[in-house]
Structure 1
Amino acid sequence: MAKRNNDNRPIEEILKEFVKTNNLESGLDKVNVREAWANLMGNGVNNYTTAIELKHETLYVQLSSSVLREELSYGNEKIVKMLNESIGKDVVKKLVLR
């Protein structure tokens, strides 16, 4: 019978270790980016957002309004910075608005 490990550790530490050993970070980053976009952009932009996809540090956002797409393209770098700050690490390097 295996011995029980009585090493008390915080659940946060255990979950981080589990995510790292099972290579789940990229999937969690995709979910975190979607949530950060929804929180930062608000209802006005979210109503016109049809798809959000993170591929290789590039965030692809599909918008149904060409006017909104053009307006957001002016603040491209600021949006990337705000998303990364919201997530807590540099996940997004480039933003592509479609």
Structure 2
Amino acid sequence: MSEEQLYDTLRQGLWIAVTISAPLLAVALIAGIAVGLFQALTSIQEMTLTFVPKVGAMLIVFWVSMSFMTSTLVSFFNDRILPQIAGG
């Protein structure tokens, strides 16, 4: 494996990691902002109020996007990693 192939594979792997994590991070950001705004408007400063909705929203998005994540990782492994292991 040449140095260019290694760096290209690492670059693609990092891009796939960003692509897969983007929906979860976006939902965590939106839920955090919504709960923070709710807390600021109502003056409720409960710690579990910030944690539980965020985790719940992230679990729902994870469950919905699990097939996308799995297919992305499997295609990367089959198209990029396995040929390099086989020497192609």
Question: Bigger relative contact order, structure 1 or 2, given CA contacts below 8 A and separation 6+?
Answer: 2
The structure with the greater share of residues assigned to strand is 1
Rg larger for: 2
The TM-score, its normalising length taken from structure 2, stands at 0.33
